[in-house]
Structure 1
Amino acid sequence: MYCVKKIKDDLFWVGGTDRRLALFENAYPIPRGVSYNAYVLKDEKTVLFDTVDWAVSSQLFENLEAVLGGRALDYVIVNHMEPDHCATLEEVVRRYPEVKVVCNAKTVDIIKQFFDFDIDSRAVIVKENDTFCTGKHTYTFVMAPMVHWPEVMVTYDTTDKILFSADAFGTFGAMNGNLFADEVNFERDWLDDARRYYTNIVGKYGASVQTLLKKAAGLDIQMICPLHGPVWRENIGWYVDKYLTWSSYAPEEKAVMIAYGSIYGNTENAANILACRLADRGIRNIAVYDVSSTHPSVMVAEAFRCSHLVFASATYNGGIFTSMERVLSDLKAHALQNRTVAVIENGSWGMVAARQMKDMIAGMKNMEILEPTVSIKSSLKAGQEADIEALADAIAASLAL
């Protein structure tokens, strides 16, 4: 049985939802599932905007058949060739053998890497600012390379002012009946997943996102149809502002994230004491995480949100505690920058964690490292309260700037 959502009189959501998948891209936990969005236009010509992951292929084809109601499918527009959106492209071609594939030249090469069907005979190649008319609707195409693959483009409906935004403005999370962002409490229920999606999937490519946002600023956008998550038709500027902040690597909030890697609880104790001392100084926006029990994707998202970061690590095998090292490596890989950082180290002997953490942080752009560095030998001892107090003072003073 089909599950179709009407967006406009001639535009329909025909995607699918997956609540069974544990790891998106086999890397990121998605306890709330994920949606794979595809859209169909019924104009003088029929158009499918992207396809879906193979896991929800049956949902797509039931929905597509119901919407078309016996009509042929004339075109499929491929904005992004990643398999979670185009795994079923070859099956679309098999079921609708006359369909033409609208895409850019880079997309053709990637289609050939994934599939064996004859793309050359059915490709309609478009480039920046080309137009494409389906009858009532005229579309233009904006190239968006490295948001977050090299072939990515977005499609703009000049008639209804709708942006089909590929992976931009997407989010983790399965849809629960409501298609539109204004039908849910997005800031309360979806923002964390939206941030975690952006920072981990697209976050490395902030400069490319900024380029796309500048192009999009010249368009009159009344609706955004992303490939994951709710469709936007109200308060679009609020969400675009989030992307402007995230892609510029500016902190979203004045906040402190304390991440600790502790073996027997002594480094954890230091992190908790610091959190208490910060709270004593009137700081309310504090988040504390155990890097061994919190997925690195959460740490990446929180580091993008918070202005101030504290990394507290035991020394382990002559280096940084392994879970902490993974977090710092992920932050560097996702191009985190423009943060104020403090460091706490612990070691029973051969204490090197602070120096090595600072070396990793120094490899990131525009990172300020606060002093003092707190060093613990096995456990905090009487007399070291002053070290924690001094670090709390330094963080509080920096937050006040």
Structure 2
Amino acid sequence: MQVNKPRDIQVMPIGTDTTIVRSRSWSRLRFEIEYALAKGTTANSYLIQGDKVALIDPPGETFTQIYLEALQQRFDVKAIDYVILGHVNPNRAATLKALLEIAPQITFVCSNPGAINLRGALENQDLPILVMRGDETLDLGKGHHLQFIPTPNPRYADALCTYDPQTEILYSDKLFAAHICGDQVFDEGWQSINEDRRYYFDCVIAPHAKQVDTALDKLADLPVRMYATGHGPIVRYGLIELTHAYREWIQQQASADLTVALIYASAYGNTATLAQAIARGITKAGVAVESINCEFTEPEEIRAAVEKSAGFVIGSPTLGGHAPTPVQTALGIVLSTATNNKLAGVFGSFGWSGEAVDLIESRLKDAGYRFGFDTIRVKFKPNEATLQLCEEAGTDFAQALKKAKKVRTTSQPATNVEQAVGRIVGSLCVVTAKQGEVSSAMLASWVAQASFNPPGLTIAVAKDRAVESLTHSGNQFVLNVLKEGNHLGLMKHFLKPFGPAQDRFADVATEEAVNGSPILKDALAYLECSVQNRMESGDHWLVYATVDNGRVLNQDGVTAVHHRKSGNHY
């Protein structure tokens, strides 16, 4: 990953009369959970120059100045007729206002929910707006007869895709995107970024799988040559494979045994960010999420989602000391629909006070609901540590649901195969990792050497482990090999359940490795490792890492080995 580069603009033709203008940042840029891999991002904008000129998806205020400078150097900005918005993010307001100052004749093109949001973001009720509901088209001339396909979901209720039959380009905005920055405009060697696309799907798309499946149905008959995404490389070479992968990943969500109804409203986007992190934690544990923005969802849809769910989580901002009316309505539906044996959770963000969160929590407690995690209250915008807490809270919630449902296989004799698998010998280790302010650890025994040159190893990491988020390509960790005879204390410590974002290293003697991760001083040896790639393997990720550094701490010690009685659980 390239680091310490300034933000810049990359301009390149991608089709007839069509140019991409990529605003690039090699740093993380934002704190939403989908940016957590810290591989930077591109905010992709597109210019179509027919007889009329259309600009698609200008970037947010982070890039306003350099973006407009790049446009003015290469194009006649005053000649722009339309600005098409795949979704209306308030962060784009600064760029849109600046464009209006240069070209006041601009007409905006967006969905109906987008028009409402746009007028609010620009504080102008008289904006010239063309609202696209699905049947309308826009003729730019020279064969660019644009079609519009609304693709709403709970997080982006105003989502709108644009299709140009002249170039067979689908401007897909959030669909098929990835947060990764580089020089590649197209996805040559697309297999190398599969992990990034899957991570983006898990964070952004998975909680809205039902709505996205509907959106893919709407797009299925279009003869598309490339997906011009809102972030990351344009999808051209791996288009068929990625489309099929989306269908498979959506089916995985649909076939999950358990579902959580995640109900929320968000005034300034902060509560939605928390919701996304909680959803990520739930889905990574193999439990499906039905995300519901109650501002745009009919009461009957909320009722149906709650009825079929195994548990529910409610999030709310606080406005004027109260929960917004849509949240209060949704809470009433939950209380009248959900039996109190369903697991509950509450979260919310606020500016000066958090009465809404307290109200929801007290109403659910009075009704006798059990909580799957401690109520989450966040003042102002969430940071990296807050997102870790939310993700781990979501995972804890999912694990509690699975534990309640699961028939304990340990009460039955293990089969011959399970007994044999349980005899696979593995050294007992503790994986420790730290990235920024986020740290985590897990006990590991599925460890094996994988290569001589460079020295490398594989570790199987369960998808619902908190440390999983720190084991993506480019991340670093320490593998602490435990010593026979003094391993029980460390084993018990790292086997015990930890609360969301709880310090895993309290009361444990550690020192900092060169890569920043904790070294356990009582370990037999340690290895500092860098993740090269990983493969999805059922309910685990198989992580391959190379060894950068290491040392034996006790030359006379013997490696602790874990002998399992059965191969169907830890």
- TM-score class, shorter: 0.5 to 0.7
Q: TM-score, normalised by structure 1?
A: 0.65
| 1:221 corresponds to 2:224 | yes
1:240 offset after TM fit, Å?
A: 0.7
Deviations 1:16-75 (A, max 9, x none): 001233544377424321100000011100000011021122232123223423651100
**Aligned residue number for residue 187 of structure 1:** 191
Deviations 1:380-399 (A, max 9, x none): xxxx966x240xx3369xxx
Unaligned runs of 5+ in 1: 277-283, 300-312, 327-367, 369-383, 397-401
User: Which aligned pairs between 1:80-119 and structure 2 lie closer than 5 A?
Assistant: 80-83=87-90, 88-118=95-125
Q: TM-score, normalised by structure 2?
A: 0.47
Q: For residue 322 of structure 1, what is the amino acid of its counterpart?
A: G
Q: Find the partner of 2:498 among 311, 321, 325.
A: 321
Quickly say closer, same or farther: Cα 1:97–1:218, change in 2 above 3 A: same
**Aligned residue number for residue 208 of structure 1:** 211
User: Secondary structure of the equivalent of 1:249?
Assistant: helix
Unaligned runs of 5+ in 2: 1-7, 255-283, 286-391, 397-427, 432-441, 449-456, 474-490, 504-538, 540-560
Quickly say closer, same or farther: Cα 1:92–1:211, change in 2 above 3 A: same
**Aligned residue number for residue 18 of structure 2:** 11
Tell me, yes or no, if the aligned pair for 2:176 and 2:229 is still in contact at 8 Å.
Answer: yes
Tell me, yes or no, if the aligned pair for 1:267 and 1:314 is still in contact at 8 Å.
Answer: no
- Tell me the C-alpha RMSD between the 2 structures: 4.1
Tell me, yes or no, if the aligned pair for 2:84 and 2:110 is still in contact at 8 Å.
Answer: yes
User: Which aligned pairs between 1:118-267 and structure 2 lie closer than 5 A?
Assistant: 118=125, 120-135=126-141, 136-146=143-153, 148-176=155-183, 178-182=184-188, 185-188=189-192, 190-249=193-252
Q: For residue 251 of structure 2, what is the amino acid of its counterpart?
A: S
Tell me, yes or no, if the aligned pair for 2:9 and 2:23 is still in contact at 8 Å.
Answer: no
Count of matched residue pairs: 306
Tell me, yes or no, if the aligned pair for 2:60 and 2:93 is still in contact at 8 Å.
Answer: yes
User: Secondary structure of the equivalent of 1:169?
Assistant: coil
In structure 2, distance between residues paired with 1:186 and 1:101? 34
Tell me, yes or no, if the aligned pair for 2:23 and 2:67 is still in contact at 8 Å.
Answer: yes
In structure 1, distance between residues paired with 2:471 and 2:90? 21
1:207 offset after TM fit, Å?
A: 0.6
Q: For residue 238 of structure 1, what is the amino acid of its counterpart?
A: E
Q: For residue 142 of structure 1, what is the amino acid of its counterpart?
A: I
Deviations 1:226-262 (A, max 9, x none): 00011122331011112112222269xxxx99x999x
Quickly say closer, same or farther: Cα 1:234–1:26, change in 2 above 3 A: closer
In structure 2, distance between residues paired with 1:223 and 1:22? 26
Quickly say closer, same or farther: Cα 1:88–1:71, change in 2 above 3 A: closer
1:13 offset after TM fit, Å?
A: 0.8
In structure 2, distance between residues paired with 1:2 and 1:202? 27
User: Secondary structure of the equivalent of 1:320?
Assistant: coil
User: Secondary structure of the equivalent of 2:445?
Assistant: helix
Quickly say closer, same or farther: Cα 1:197–1:147, change in 2 above 3 A: farther
Deviations 1:105-132 (A, max 9, x none): 11111113322134x3411111113211
**Aligned residue number for residue 287 of structure 1:** 460
1:285 offset after TM fit, Å?
A: 8.5
User: Secondary structure of the equivalent of 1:65?
Assistant: helix
Q: For residue 144 of structure 2, what is the amino acid of its counterpart?
A: H
Tell me, yes or no, if the aligned pair for 2:54 and 2:81 is still in contact at 8 Å.
Answer: yes
In structure 2, distance between residues paired with 1:296 and 1:248? 26
Quickly say closer, same or farther: Cα 1:294–1:70, change in 2 above 3 A: closer
Quickly say closer, same or farther: Cα 1:104–1:385, change in 2 above 3 A: closer
Tell me, yes or no, if the aligned pair for 2:71 and 2:77 is still in contact at 8 Å.
Answer: no
User: Secondary structure of the equivalent of 1:132?
Assistant: strand
Q: Greater strand share, 1 or 2?
A: 2
In structure 2, distance between residues paired with 1:295 and 1:84? 27
Tell me, yes or no, if the aligned pair for 2:77 and 2:103 is still in contact at 8 Å.
Answer: no
| 1:394 corresponds to 2:401 | no
Q: For residue 195 of structure 2, what is the amino acid of its counterpart?
A: D
Quickly say closer, same or farther: Cα 1:385–1:46, change in 2 above 3 A: closer
In structure 1, distance between residues paired with 2:238 and 2:140? 29
Q: For residue 237 of structure 2, what is the amino acid of its counterpart?
A: E
In structure 1, distance between residues paired with 2:105 and 2:45? 19
Q: For residue 86 of structure 2, what is the amino acid of its counterpart?
A: N
Tell me, yes or no, if the aligned pair for 2:87 and 2:160 is still in contact at 8 Å.
Answer: yes
Quickly say closer, same or farther: Cα 1:385–1:15, change in 2 above 3 A: closer
In structure 2, distance between residues paired with 1:174 and 1:84? 20
In structure 2, distance between residues paired with 1:30 and 1:274? 24
**Aligned residue number for residue 303 of structure 1:** none
- State percent identity of aligned pairs: 21
In structure 2, distance between residues paired with 1:275 and 1:2? 43
Tell me, yes or no, if the aligned pair for 2:190 and 2:238 is still in contact at 8 Å.
Answer: no
Quickly say closer, same or farther: Cα 1:96–1:242, change in 2 above 3 A: same
Tell me, yes or no, if the aligned pair for 1:28 and 1:297 is still in contact at 8 Å.
Answer: no
In structure 1, distance between residues paired with 2:182 and 2:154? 23
Greater mean deviation of Cα atoms: 27-36 or 193-202 = 27-36
Higher relative contact order (CA 8 A, sep 6+): 1
Deviations 1:163-184 (A, max 9, x none): 00010011011132x21112xx
**Aligned residue number for residue 76 of structure 2:** 69
In structure 1, distance between residues paired with 2:169 and 2:228? 7
1:84 offset after TM fit, Å?
A: 5.6
